């Protein structure tokens, strides 16, 4: 039922009010007595949030309704408001017809695998603990969450290098307006794009990519801004544009954040998924830190970032975690940290140029039975190579570079990603891996 980012999919098909009701019942039955509920700008979030709240109250949990808020805003509010859990109704960067639900703990970390499985089991077995008629939960509104998040951002940021920066913030018609407000309070001259929350995402698709951020790139370049910031629909992601109007590659942005976190801490571990570029390993090692690889998904990165000695965790998708602040990917915090970095060590384009990158080669291969194919691939790779990592899929490190063979989480595909010191070497690794997958389908 749950993927690495909760439940997500088309409304009326994968995601229904009945499912939301069941999730609310299960979270309360699992022991949560007070639960925060919030949603992004999608109109379908209204009835889904009501359904979650009804299920929670039906099984005795009190509901604190935050209304329309960013995901990191809700995640940060759980502990502050003395709650036991939080439910965000959001499909994050997915298109407008989708919605979803993601579950959070007081630390700001998403429910881990074990707790997600408990919730799934309760739903499958209808094993809910309904409250007596006079012991059902109450529901109250709280309007302090966004202001409290803004205060936390201001406290966590270094205002001096941000003051007088010109920043363009593309909110993407989502709920990440707290970023623009916080940067403004820190002294930046802020221009916004797509600032009106609208779950149909009329300004651009919800997912910020090099292809969808052309308006932001143009605005930064023509307006002589120092940088551009972009969020997805619920603002757990943050991606950037440098002062020339050029999209900052995702792995490079991860390398910049990771290196600064290690430098500031005087060492430490950085958690990244197994498909992360070696440019991050290089940047972290040069700063005196160590990279720890996780499964793909910000849930798994957060679990590793929660371990002692971890100073940062990130995914090239745009999810950035500073465990000293919160274990939820916090796009607004990332925006403030990047602005401070550009203001103190920039311009951003020069920081980007200072990160050595490597050629990548990718392939998607149609398969019938993903699990069976991956099992055969893993057996053959273990027998033929020494440096094999099966944390998520099969990753092989060679003298030339690395290659990852991993089943798609949503499609009947096996994905191949190869990186090496030259395009020719990356292509050789891709071909080697693709041949392994093709042979395993026979």
Last residue in a domain, options 143, 175, 193: 143
Residue 74: closest CA among 1, 135, 63, 437? 63
- Shared-domain flag, residues 138 and 210: no
pLDDT at 423 > cutoff 70: yes
Return the bridge partners of 394, or none. Answer: 405
Look up the CATH number of the domain holding residue 388. 3.30.310.50
Residue 159 lies in a domain: yes
pLDDT at 4 > cutoff 80: no
- Shared-domain flag, residues 74 and 122: yes
Are 74 and 80 in contact by the 8 Å Cβ rule? The answer is no
Residue 121: closest CA among 30, 52, 16? 30
Last residue in a domain, options 357, 380, 398: 357
pLDDT at 428 > cutoff 70: yes
Q: What is the pLDDT of residue 197?
A: 97
- Shared-domain flag, residues 18 and 79: yes
Residue 273 lies in a domain: yes
pLDDT digits (tens, 9 = 90+) for 217-270: 999 999 999 999 999 999 999 999 999 999 999 999 999 999 999 999 999 999
Q: Please, is 127 exposed, middle or buried when counting C-beta atoms within 10 Å of its C-beta (0-12, 13-18, 19+)?
A: exposed
pLDDT range class, residue 113, cuts 50, 70, 90:
confident
| Residue appearing with tokens 């990332």 | 334
- Shared-domain flag, residues 149 and 138: no
- Shared-domain flag, residues 12 and 134: yes
- Shared-domain flag, residues 163 and 290: yes
Residue 1 lies in a domain: no
User: Averaged over 416-426, what is the pLDDT?
Assistant: 94
Can you tell me the distance from the alpha carbon of 120 to that of 113, in angstroms, rounded to the nearest whole number?
10
Most confident by average pLDDT, 208-217, 370-379, 406-415 = 208-217
Alpha carbon 118 to its chain's center:
23
For the chain, give the number of residues. 442
Residue percentage of the chain with pLDDT more than 90: 90
- Shared-domain flag, residues 386 and 328: no
Lowest mean pLDDT among 27-36, 85-94, 363-372, 421-430: 363-372
Q: Across all residues in the chain, what is the average pLDDT?
A: 95
- Shared-domain flag, residues 29 and 65: yes
Residue 230 lies in a domain: yes
pLDDT at 410 > cutoff 90: no
pLDDT at 409 > cutoff 90: no
- Shared-domain flag, residues 298 and 173: yes
Enclosing H/E stretch for 70 = none
- Shared-domain flag, residues 139 and 171: no
Catalytic pick among 5, 22, 77, 92: 92
pLDDT at 399 > cutoff 80: yes
Q: What is the pLDDT of residue 280?
A: 96
pLDDT digits (tens, 9 = 90+) for 6-23: 788 999 999 999 999 999
Enclosing H/E stretch for 423 = helix 423-441
Please indicate whether residue 317 is annotated as part of the active site: no
Residue 311: closest CA among 297, 331, 325? 325
pLDDT at 297 > cutoff 90: no
pLDDT digits (tens, 9 = 90+) for 46-59: 999 999 999 999 99
- Shared-domain flag, residues 344 and 255: yes
Residue 430 lies in a domain: yes
Q: What is the pLDDT of residue 139?
A: 97
Last residue in a domain, options 125, 143, 161: 143
Look up the CATH number of the domain holding residue 291. 3.40.120.10
pLDDT range class, residue 1, cuts 50, 70, 90:
low
Residue 94 lies in a domain: yes
- Shared-domain flag, residues 81 and 149: no
pLDDT digits (tens, 9 = 90+) for 324-354: 999 999 999 999 999 999 999 989 999 999 9
Residue range(s) defining the domain that contains residue 375: 360-441
Q: What is the pLDDT of residue 400?
A: 85
Q: What is the pLDDT of residue 411?
A: 73
Residue 15 lies in a domain: yes
Residue 25 lies in a domain: yes
Domain count within the chain:
3
């Amino acid at each position: 039922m749950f993927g690495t980012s909760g439940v997500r999919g088309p409304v009326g098909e994968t995601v229904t009010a009945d499912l939301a009701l069941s999730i609310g019942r299960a979270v309360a039955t699992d022991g949560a007595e007070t639960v925060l509920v919030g949603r992004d700008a999608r109109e379908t979030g209204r009835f889904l949030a009501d359904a979650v709240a009804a299920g929670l109250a039906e099984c005795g949990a009190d509901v604190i309704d935050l209304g329309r808020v960013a995901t990191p805003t809700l995640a940060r509010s759980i502990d502050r408001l003395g709650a036991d859990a939080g439910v965000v109704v959001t499909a994050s960067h997915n298109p407008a017809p989708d919605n979803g639900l993601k579950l959070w703990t007081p630390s700001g970390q998403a429910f881990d695998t074990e707790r997600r499985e408990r919730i799934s089991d309760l739903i499958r077995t209808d094993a809910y603990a309904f409250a007596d008629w006079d012991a059902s939960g109450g529901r109250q509104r709280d309007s302090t969450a966004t202001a409290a998040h803004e205060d936390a951002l201001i406290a966590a940021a270094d205002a001096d290098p941000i003051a007088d920066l010109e920043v363009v913030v593309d909110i993407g018609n989502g709920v990440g307006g707290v970023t623009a407000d916080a940067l403004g309070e820190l002294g930046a001259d802020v221009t916004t794009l797509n600032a009106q929350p609208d779950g149909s995402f009329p300004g651009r698709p919800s997912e910020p990519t090099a292809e969808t951020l052309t308006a932001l790139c143009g605005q930064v370049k023509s307006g002589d801004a120092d940088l551009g910031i972009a969020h997805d629909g619920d603002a757990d992601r943050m991606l950037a544009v440098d002062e020339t109007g050029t999209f900052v590659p995702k792995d490079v942005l991860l390398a910049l954040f990771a290196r600064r976190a290690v430098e500031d801490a005087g060492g430490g571990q950085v958690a990244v998924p197994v498909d992360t570029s070696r440019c991050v390993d290089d940047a972290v090692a040069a700063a005196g830190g160590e990279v720890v690889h996780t499964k793909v998904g910000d849930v798994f990165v957060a679990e590793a970032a929660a371990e002692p000695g971890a100073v940062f965790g990130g995914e090239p998708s745009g999810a950035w975690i500073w465990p000293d602040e919160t274990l939820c990917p916090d796009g607004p915090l990332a925006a403030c940290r990047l602005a401070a970095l550009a203001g103190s060590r920039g311009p951003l384009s020069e920081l980007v140029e200072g990160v050595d990158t490597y050629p990548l080669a990718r392939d998607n291969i149609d398969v019938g039975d993903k699990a069976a194919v991956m099992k055969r691939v893993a057996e053959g790779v273990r027998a033929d190579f020494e440096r094999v990592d099966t944390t998520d899929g099969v990753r092989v490190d060679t003298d030339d570079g690395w290659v990852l063979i991993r089943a798609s989480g949503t499609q009947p595909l096996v994905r191949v990603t190869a990186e090496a010191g030259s395009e020719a070497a990356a292509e050789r690794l891709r071909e080697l891996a693709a041949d392994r997958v093709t042979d395993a389908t026979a």
